[in-house]
Chain A
Amino acid sequence: MTTTATELLTVRDLRVDFAGARGRGTVTAVRGVDLTLRRGETLGIVGESGSGKSVTALSVLGLLPGTAAVHGSVTLDGRELIGLPPGELTRIRGRRIAMVFQDPLSAFTPVYRIGDQIAEAVRAHQKTDKTAARRRAAELLDLVGIPDPQRALDSFPHEFSGGMRQRAMIAMAVANEPDILLADEPTTALDVTIQAQVLDVLRTAQRETGAALVLVSHDLGVIAQMADRVAVMYAGRVVETAPVDELFGAPRHPYTLGLIGAVPRLDRDGGPLVPIPGNPPALVDLPPGCPFAPRCPLAGDDCRTAEPPLTGSDGHQAACLRADRLAAERPAPADVYPVPPLPPAARPVDRSRLPQVLRVTGLAKTFPVLKGTVVKRKVGEVYAVDGVHLDIRRGETLGLVGESGSGKSTTLFEILGLTAPEAGRIELLGQDTAALSREAVHRLRAQLQIVFQDPMASLDPRLPIGDIIAEPLQAQRAPRERIAALIPELLTKVGLEPAHAARYPHEFSGGQRQRVSIARALAVSPQLLVLDEPVSALDVSIQAGVLNLLQELKATLDLSYLFVSHDLSVIRHLADRVSVMYLGRTVEQGPVAEVFTTARHPYTRALLSAVPLPDPAAERGRTRILLPGDPPSPTSRPVGCAFRTRCPLYATLGGEQRSRCEQQAPALDTAAEHGAACHWGGE
């Protein structure tokens, strides 16, 4: 490849070693990465956790800690950056290359006002006086769409919501019109509607400044939406790089192919996903040969001798010996990877005849807002949940969707508490929780089990997993022999080995830990499994395996799931019915296929349009509904429709129709198959 004038940043054979702690081997986090960034383009770097994406990005900026040894070459406009004295690097950072981090809170100093921090960034590289810098800061905040920039200048970072902080961070990054914007997972911590806003802001910022953008993400959808070219990383190397359409249309590396098959998609239903077996390798003492070989279905003996180089023509390169074959045959992911057969889905029956498992009507829960350190006074209330309706029949999966703060977890904990709710009614298996004796509660617990989001935090690190799985059985006083017999059975059921019972949680990978959690939940043969974001802490290739397992278990054990997730694609994939929450209220419910194709509530429509599809062609053809602003604070109870402040439909209504939204809270028709809480949502 020859260096052309348009090449802005080139990375050649970048290697980063971290000195091993306490006698452990050296971790080679990045093992020979080549990247090229042209002026004005967007390069997406995608890969799973630990694949070296962040380390690559940070080493370009010289931001790695002292334990890192960086080799290779990084040139900016022909100037070598590796080995530059820190002072010179600082001048380049911010001026020519600016960074947007995943967690914007850590990038702002909490004790200084946002305006002062942005102005300082301006003055660090430009000779301007204070008032001019401040004016520029206000302009920048306006550019990234922060309402009322003058007031925002005087706010402190903690007064901003996550999305606002990320915008402010972008404003600071573009303050000096850099040539390169480096964004490391800029939207991972954000909700989809906020993510859509921030991605939009990134695009605007890029257009206004003409900067090239390096976007690091694990989300194939975000990459498909934003990138011009993509580099896929695995085990510290780039394994494939291509223009975005080619990469998604005709991947030449089995890993890329597997990733594409592993993501559930919003525009398709059901069916098994393609899990990539195994786990990414540890980056210590890698065996020779292709690092993907232990997980690759196409691996042969020739793959295990030497690591294949990144080769290919016309800008599409892959590090695989079978790249040509993949390029010629263009197989679908499921042709290459073994896909587990799923038991056929239950035949559709009239759901009103199925026995009711969970029924929640009009659930409400408020938390007091306390003030004062010595004597706590109640100064207000948070309406965390204010009108939630759920309905689950035997064998059904209900997906509960909502952004963070919409009251999903509170709803779950209210149900799991098995006590009388503050308002409304919870019926589990036909029993009203308000009228249960202590003994009955204890017995009901066996019918209701939970799988938490973070599999590490929800397993006691000091118990071997055999004991962890036995716990609910012991709580229900199962005889010891039965427990001993059940544990190997349960482990096999979730795809682990009986011999694993004596291991501790930390000896497992994330996906395996989540399987342990599932085994524990299944131990007492519950009827309803509550799954609180069970796959959001996992990488896509691992997530696919867990989702397949959940589908299989549901079919074989006739379970019902209450599946909470912020990821609509996962819900679409797994759920039969969906219930959408906004600000503590159920705003729409209905069968998945219907809600996802013909949503009735404006919020659901916006939510669905905000989810990026892992398909660049489809992405370009979509119209996105961007919601303005953030959800309002739940400390006040709005009169009329709670969604009014952000509702795009409301904005188009005439005066008379508007006044209905303002005065009357729309009700959800809980009896209907598909209902929405909107006055004008259409039928």
Chain B
Amino acid sequence: MAGDAPRSRGRLVLARLLASPGVVIGGGIVVLLFLLAFVGPYLTHWKYTDIDYTALRQPPSAQHWFGTAGLGQDVYAQTLRGLQKSLIIGLLVALLSTCLAGLVGACAGYFGGWTDRLLIFFVDLMLVFPSFLIITIVSPRLKNSGWLAFVVLLAAFNWMITARVVRSMTISLKEREFVRAARFMGVRPLRIIWRHILPNCASYLIVDATIAVGAAVMNETMLSYFGFGVQPPDVSLGTLIADGTDSAPTYPWMFYFAAGLLVLFVLAVNLVGDGLRDALDPTAAAGRRPSRRTLRALRRRAAATAAVGSRGTPPALDAEGTA
């Protein structure tokens, strides 16, 4: 299916994405965060496992840039190590759960009948199962299979509500004429879902995904309590924030660096998400926004051509006025 994916839509969306300041800034911040997370640790000789017994709970200094924690760990090294984990977990979990939700919801809504009943039964089952119970059962087995299994598990408990919403959106989209038109033209169902249904659910899916990023980072913390996921001495932003919350008033550096980076990360993802949503929605003003001057020039030109008597409909310049 990806072979003959909508080439020109792809290119248009890309152009609109790059023209949106939000995407450029947000994307820039995410790239910088990745750089910081993966290059930053080499700038100091402290490892996140190192313990400096001479400096317990010290504020930031030339020696320890972000200060030290209760056992003398270097907060800078720890925060960056946490950032590495959380960036990947946050983005992957959001991506995975949104894709799963989109696919299951759209298929259930589009095909209806037994497909719908089976899929929705499964979704509801997942919703009523106490997820942490399942995690405690499966976690011993997955303990050694690394962070990827962990991402999958986090995503697996995060998609059901979205899927239900997508399903109901699909049911109403399915009756729209453009979907009907595609069906009568002989477009295959999966392709209709890919080309028409999902892009028209995109605004919702993207907002949902950006929220899921922040949620995934924090959910991971909860999982750590079950001895699953990130275990000491290893850290993530989630565990750092959880551990630092109590000491925030007295030792602010143990909390605010990690919290600040998480906020920055979520903010950047939101910026990118907003830009992406506008880029996919051609009626959104952002990304299109021809300047007033070009509009006026176009209008003059149209008036001129019409006056010369050239026939046929001139390009719609009144999009702004009538839309």
Contacts and interface: CB of A to CB of B under 8 A. Distances in A.
**In the complex, which of the residues A293, A441, A462 has the most CB atoms of chain B within 10 Å of its own CB atom?**
A462
A460 B316 contact: no
Interface string B177-207: 1101110111110010001100110100000
Interface stretch (B43-51, B71-79, B306-314): B306-314
B313 A461 contact: no
Contact of B196 (A287, A449, A452, A460): A460
A262 to B, nearest CB: 14
Contacts of A27: 321
Given A449-B185, A454-B177, A461-B283, A497 B315 contact: yes
B323 interface: yes
Given A416-B184, A475-B188, A507-B319, A545 B313 contact: yes
B237 to A, nearest CB: 35
A340 B311 CA distance: 9
Interface stretch (B5-13, B31-39, B115-123, B132-140): B5-13
Interface string A417-450: 0000000000000000000000001100110111
A50 interface: yes
Nearest to A27: B321
Interface string A510-550: 01100000001000100000000000000000000100000
Contacts of A462: 9, 196, 199-200, 202, 280-282
Interface in B271-323: 280-283, 285, 299, 302-303, 306-307, 309, 311-316, 318-323
A550 to B, nearest CB: 15
Nearest to B322: A282
Interface in B84-108: none
Interface stretch (A224-232, A245-253, A465-473, A567-575): A465-473
A294 B307 contact: yes
Contacts of A596: none
**In the complex, which of the residues A284, A454, A459, A471 has the most CB atoms of chain B within 10 Å of its own CB atom?**
A471
B141 interface: no
Contacts of B311: 277, 338, 340
Nearest to B303: A294
A1 interface: no
Interface in A469-490: 471-472, 474-476, 480
B292 to A, nearest CB: 9
Contact of A283 (B180, B313, B321): B321
B199 to A, nearest CB: 4
A461 B186 contact: no
Interface string B1-21: 000101011001000000000
B197 to A, nearest CB: 10
Interface residues of A, number: 62
Interface stretch (A188-196, A382-390, A498-506): A498-506
A652 to B, nearest CB: 44
B313 A282 contact: no
A83 B314 CA distance: 41
A508 B316 contact: yes
Contact of B315 (A24, A461, A500, A520): A500
Contacts of B4: 474, 480
A501 B8 contact: yes
A279 B306 CA distance: 11
Interface string A256-291: 000000000000000000000111011110010000
A312 B309 CA distance: 28
Contact of B186 (A445, A454, A497, A511): A445
A258 to B, nearest CB: 13
A495 B313 contact: yes
Contact of B181 (A278, A448, A452, A545): A452
Contacts of B9: 462-464, 467
A651 interface: no
A457 B313 contact: no
B6 A463 contact: yes
B306 A295 contact: yes
A502 B12 contact: yes
Contacts of A509: 313, 316, 318, 322
A670 B319 CA distance: 49
A462 B9 CA distance: 9
B154 to A, nearest CB: 30
Contact of B316 (A22, A279, A476): A279
Contact of A277 (B187, B312, B320): B312
A195 B100 CA distance: 52
A338 B309 contact: yes
Contact of A446 (B8, B176, B186): B186
B318 A461 contact: no
A506 B322 CA distance: 10
A633 interface: no
A361 to B, nearest CB: 22
B184 A445 contact: yes
Contact of B313 (A279, A338, A446, A466): A279
Nearest to A477: B4
A357 B202 CA distance: 41
Nearest to A455: B177
A362 interface: no
A452 B303 contact: no
A471 B4 CA distance: 11
A459 B316 contact: no
A64 interface: no
A259 to B, nearest CB: 17
A284 B319 CA distance: 11
Nearest to B4: A474
Nearest to A460: B178
B6 A467 contact: yes
Contacts of A471: 182, 185, 187, 195
A32 B79 CA distance: 68
Contacts of A449: 184-185
Contacts of B177: 452, 454, 457-458
Given A277-B311, A457-B177, A504-B282, A50 B6 contact: no
B319 A294 contact: no
Contacts of A463: 6, 9, 195-196, 199
Contact of B318 (A22, A281, A340, A460): A281
Nearest to A507: B319
Contacts of B307: 293-294, 299, 304
Contacts of B182: 460, 471, 475
Contact of B321 (A282, A287, A295, A472): A282
Contacts of A459: 178
A610 B182 CA distance: 37
14 contacts: A282-B320, A293-B307, A450-B181, A457-B176, A458-B177, A460-B199, A463-B195, A472-B185, A474-B4, A495-B312, A495-B313, A508-B316, A509-B313, A512-B316
Given A461-B283, A474-B4, 7 more contacts: A452-B180, A460-B182, A460-B199, A462-B199, A464-B282, A501-B8, A508-B319
Interface of B: 4, 6, 8-9, 12, 176-178, 180-182, 184-188, 191, 195-196, 199-200, 202, 280-283, 285, 299, 302-303, 306-307, 309, 311-316, 318-323
